[in-house]
Amino acid sequence: MPWNSHWVGVADFLAMGGYASYVWISIGACALAVLIESLQLRRRHRAAARRVSQLRGEA
Amino acid sequence: MNRWLHFASPQRFYPLAGRLMPWLVVSAALLALAGLAIGLLIAPSDAQQGEGYRIIFVHVPASWMSMFIYLVMAFWAGVGLVLNTRLSSMMAQALAPTGAMFALLSLLTGALWGKPMWGAWWVWDARLTSELILLFLYLGFIALYSSIEDPSRADRASAVLALVGAVNVPIIYFSVKWWSTLHQGASVSLTRSPSMAVTMLWGMGIMVLAFWAYAIAVALARVRCIILEREARAEWVKYAVE
Amino acid sequence: MSIFSLTLRRDLLLVIREPAQGMAVLAFFVMAASLFPIGVGPESALLRRIAPGIIWVAALLAVLLGLPRLFEADFLDGTLEQMVVGPVSLGLLVLGKIVAHWLSTGVPIVLLSPLLAIQFSLDRDSLLVMVGSLLPGTLLLSLIGAIGSALTLGLRNSGVLVTVLVLPLYVPVLVFGAGALEADLAGMDAAAHLYLLVALLALALFFAPWVTAAALRIALE
Amino acid sequence: MFQLNVRGLSCQRAENILFSGISFALEGGAWLHVKGRNGAGKSTLLRTLAGLVRPASGVVTFSGRLGPAVRRVLCGHQAAVKRELSAEENLRVGIPGDSPASAAQVQAALTKVGLGKAASVPARYLSEGQKRRLVLARLLLQCADLWLLDEPVNGLDSDGVELLGLFLREHLANGGAAVVTSHQPLPVAVGKSLAL
């Protein structure tokens, strides 16, 4: 592992000293929230843009 | 002053936000990677809590951001109310969902941290309880502006609520702290974070910057959506949409 | 006569003419508080311990239930618009309405609370602290609630929306109000809680009327 | 001499412009008849003059002898009457802030609008027309300088309209001004008119 950190190997790192589920779920939840928010925003932007071009078509 | 007002109109702000967003997204990603690398790889394990304490690298930035975003939101809402600039109110409404998300994440990671350390998913600790109430304040703000059709009334009514909320946040925090020390004594508390090694501080600091960059990027993206939705009939919008 | 007392007398006259809704709020207060012994069990030691929270939460929800009486009726028949157009200070007028709402909702709750105290087997000398905390407390709840009901005036889901807006702001009031009674029951001195409660009341008395007036102007635009 | 002047007024409702560039001046003794199709923003114009609505742009100023605040009164679509109060109580305490009128003045105003006998009848039993007349009685008692009447003829029968014309003429005679929106013609000398 780089920077002489005290992890022995990847498995040890993933085990997180027995707290693996808590730590990885926390980080995973943050990543998931970011993902959901980004996708939702992209969908909302596209819907708004479609509405605008629809209006442009009518005008 | 005029320079600043130059970007106050949605028409000029829309492309500016579009140009800023990619930079912010990239820097948020890089900062997050760096922060997690320091937090998970380099930072030493904690004396009492072993490796479980590493959740603070997402818990503390999330709860700090949820508080900071509420104050920024109340600021923009106040500016929108006083100067009657629609864009500021749109910015306040763009920040609210992200602030609520951070409050929710803070509660979730707080519970995930509390379970291994104190054996309970939910601890009526002063900080967690006031975080919960902060989430309710966000939900109240979002519920108010989304249930008023007329945009100008929605902006001004939600601005009043945000300002009243901002005044109440310290009062709520103080009263909850008073309440929790009264009932449970200060033995168990998330506030007394573990002794902070320098690398831990660095890790948390960088994660806060990452969350901060992310929050601005998302707020800009959402404000662009709000501009498109509210100015759909405006002339300039037709050419702004690729 | 100042606009404050004019509005106060007017609203009290209206309450006397149509007491039905006022009674309903009081009935709710007593019923809600009486449900807990049924739900939790009749042993008086336990009831004594949870009495402060129950009585205070029931009073808080009763005031919340009575909030639409503040502006809803006047908004629907157009008199509120006349008041806003009128040349009088809207803040004082609103304060008159809030105090009238307190007199017709909060004070009857306080007068009824000894009835509940008996149910929860509270002894006589803690009655004083209960009344002492509920009296300023209910006025404070009306003041904060007025802001919420003005903001949600005329909205279709205003009933539930007011709750979502106002409950977080009620937390400090509940903490100090119920805390005062609890401290007294535990034999400690409740003065600190009561002072803080009255301090919050002073803050709200100063800010709430004109914030509510601003919210009314926004709602009537 | 009391004067209302409006310059470059424009109003918005939910992001679309209702009207713009409205300018006119109105002195005491004159009245303005506002015409326009439904939804043209006639009511919004009156509510802006009443100070309820914040205009998108433009200026509304009152100059002249009238001290700090011009006493204006707005009669909207709703007859602002409390059902629980009697006709007489409605005039005395119905709207906190009206200029305090003595019982005799109230009774006189009621008889003038033909509600003399119905003074103590709770307003819930009054017909729509009678409520409109009650609003006319209140207009007399408020002795405002600027009357802002939104479709005042609605709900009034023929001699009700006569009464309205009479009161309007008296109001203009002693130096008051009025801005009135109405589809039917009013029994008053034709004043200025503004089409939205």
Q: What is the pLDDT of residues D11-46, one digit of tens each?
A: 988 777 888 888 988 888 889 999 888 888 899 999
Give how far B1 is from chain A: nearest CA, Å. Answer: 31
Contacts of B103 in chain A (CB under 8 A): none
Identify which of A21, C144, C200 has the alpha carbon closest to the alpha carbon of residue B111.
A21
* B154 touching C (Cβ < 8 Å): no
Tell me: the pLDDT tens digits for B23-46?
Answer: 999 999 999 999 998 888 888 887
Q: What is the ipTM of this complex?
A: 0.91
Mutate to test the interface with A, among B11, B53, B135, B228 (most CBs of A within 10 A): B228
Beta strands in D36-172 (DSSP E): 57-63, 72-75, 146-150
Tell me: the pLDDT tens digits for B1-26?
Answer: 556 666 778 888 999 999 999 999 99
The two tokens of residue B203 are 């890790």
Q: What is the pTM of this model?
A: 0.92
Q: Give the pLDDT band (50/70/90) at residue D66.
A: very low
Give how far C89 is from chain D: nearest CA, Å. Answer: 9
Ranges of H-type helices in chain B:
2-6, 10-36, 56-83, 86-118, 126-146, 151-184, 198-230, 235-240
Give how far A58 is from chain B: nearest CA, Å. Answer: 11
Residue A49 belongs to domain spanning: 10-56
Residue of D nearest to C14 (CA): D84
Q: Are residues D1 and D66 in the same domain?
A: yes
* C78 touching D (Cβ < 8 Å): yes
Tell me: the pLDDT tens digits for B130-175?
Answer: 999 999 999 999 999 999 998 999 999 999 999 999 999 999 999 9
pLDDT of residue B188: 46
Contacts of B174 in chain C (CB under 8 A): 172
Contacts of C6 in chain D (CB under 8 A): 93, 96-97
- How many contacts, defined by CB atoms under 8 Å, are there between A and B? 96
Residue of C nearest to D48 (CA): C221
CB B63 within 8 A of CB B101: no
Q: Give the pLDDT band (50/70/90) at residue D60.
A: confident
* B82 touching C (Cβ < 8 Å): no
User: Which of C147, C161, C200 lies at the smallest CB-CB distance from B143?
Assistant: C161
pLDDT of residue D68: 47
Determine whether B238 is exposed, middle or buried from the number of CB atoms within 10 Å of its CB (0-12, 13-18, 19+).
Answer: middle
**A45 in any annotated domain:** yes
Identify which of D135, D50, D51 has the alpha carbon closest to the alpha carbon of residue D95.
D135
* B205 touching C (Cβ < 8 Å): no
Q: What's the rounded Cα separation, in Å, for the pair B178 and B185?
A: 10
Which CB contacts under 8 angstroms, 24+ apart, belong to A44-48?
A44/B222, A44/B225, A45/B221, A45/B224, A45/B225, A45/B228, A48/B225, A48/B228, A48/B229, A48/B232
User: Which of C157, C172, C221 lies at the smallest CB-CB distance from B147?
Assistant: C157
Q: What's the rounded Cα separation, in Å, for the pair A53 and B242?
A: 9
Distances (CA, A) of C38 to C117, C119, C120, C133: 15, 11, 12, 25
pLDDT of residue B5: 66
Contacts of D16 in chain B (CB under 8 A): 233
User: Cβ contacts of residue A15 below 8 Å, gap of 6+?
Assistant: none
Give the neighbours of chain B: at least 3 Cβ pairs within 8 Å. Answer: A, C, D
- C and B touching (3 or more beta-carbon pairs closer than 8 Å): yes
Distances (CA, A) of C111 to C127, C130, D47: 11, 11, 44
User: Which of D54, D71, D93 lies at the smallest CB-CB distance from C221?
Assistant: D54
CB C143 within 8 A of CB C204: yes
Residue of C nearest to B170 (CA): C172
Percent of all residues in chain D with a pLDDT value above 70, rounded to a whole number = 95
User: Which of C77, C81, C88 lies at the smallest CB-CB distance from D96?
Assistant: C88
Please indicate whether, in this complex, the C-beta atoms of D52 and C14 are within 8 angstroms of each other: no
Structurally, how many domains does chain A consist of?
Answer: 1
**A2 in any annotated domain:** no
User: Cβ contacts of residue C80 below 8 Å, gap of 6+?
Assistant: C71, C74, C216, C220
Beta bridge partners of residue A29, listed in sequence order: none
- C and A touching (3 or more beta-carbon pairs closer than 8 Å): no
- Rounding to the nearest 10 degrees, give the CA dihedral for residues B218, B220, B225, B227: 160
Work out the average pLDDT over B200-213: 92
pLDDT of residue B73: 97
Please indicate whether, in this complex, the C-beta atoms of C171 and B176 are within 8 angstroms of each other: yes
User: Which of C155, C167, C175 lies at the smallest CB-CB distance from B176?
Assistant: C175
Q: Please report how many Cα atoms fall inside a 13 Å half-sphere around the Cα of residue C206, on the Cβ side.
A: 5
Q: Are residues D97 and D37 in the same domain?
A: no
Rg of chain D over CA atoms, in angstroms?
A: 17
Structurally, how many domains does chain D consist of?
Answer: 2
* B84 touching D (Cβ < 8 Å): yes
Taking all residues of chain D, what is their mean pLDDT, rounded to a whole number? 86
* C179 touching B (Cβ < 8 Å): yes
Task: Kindly tell me if the per-residue pLDDT of A1 is higher than 80.
Answer: no
Residue with the larger pLDDT of the pair B29 and D99: B29
* A49 touching B (Cβ < 8 Å): yes
- Element of type H or E holding D17: strand D16-27
Determine whether C17 is exposed, middle or buried from the number of CB atoms within 10 Å of its CB (0-12, 13-18, 19+).
Answer: middle
Contacts of A26 in chain B (CB under 8 A): 55, 58-59, 108-109, 112-113
**A3 in any annotated domain:** no
Task: Kindly tell me if the per-residue pLDDT of B184 is higher than 70.
Answer: no
User: Which of B143, B153, B171 lies at the smallest CB-CB distance from C172?
Assistant: B171
Q: What's the rounded Cα separation, in Å, for the pair C182 and B229?
A: 51
Q: What's the rounded Cα separation, in Å, for the pair C99 and C5?
A: 10
Please indicate whether, in this complex, the C-beta atoms of B168 and C172 are within 8 angstroms of each other: yes
Q: Are residues D57 and D152 in the same domain?
A: yes
Please indicate whether, in this complex, the C-beta atoms of B112 and A1 are within 8 angstroms of each other: no
Please indicate whether, in this complex, the C-beta atoms of D14 and B151 are within 8 angstroms of each other: yes
**Which residue, chain included where needed, has tokens 């007025």?**
C146
Please indicate whether, in this complex, the C-beta atoms of B153 and C207 are within 8 angstroms of each other: no
Q: Domain limits of chain C?
A: 2-220
* A9 touching B (Cβ < 8 Å): no
**Which residue, chain included where needed, has tokens 């997180």?**
A16
Residue D28: strand, helix, or coil: coil
pLDDT along chain C (221 residues), means of 10: 91 92 92 90 87 94 94 93 91 96 95 90 87 96 97 92 96 94 88 95 96 95 88
Q: Are residues D89 and D52 in the same domain?
A: no
Q: Give the pLDDT band (50/70/90) at residue B180.
A: confident
Residue D137 belongs to domain spanning: 80-143
Give how far D56 is from chain B: nearest CA, Å. Answer: 10
Identify which of B214, B67, B59, B191 has the alpha carbon closest to the alpha carbon of residue B125.
B191
Identify which of B92, B104, D69, B128 has the alpha carbon closest to the alpha carbon of residue C90.
D69
Tell me how crowded residue C61 is: count the other CB atoms within 10 A of its CB: 19
pLDDT of residue D69: 60
Distances (CA, A) of D161 to B39, B233, D33, D79: 81, 43, 16, 16
Give the neighbours of chain D: at least 3 Cβ pairs within 8 Å. Answer: B, C
Give the neighbours of chain A: at least 3 Cβ pairs within 8 Å. Answer: B
Q: Give the pLDDT band (50/70/90) at residue D192.
A: confident
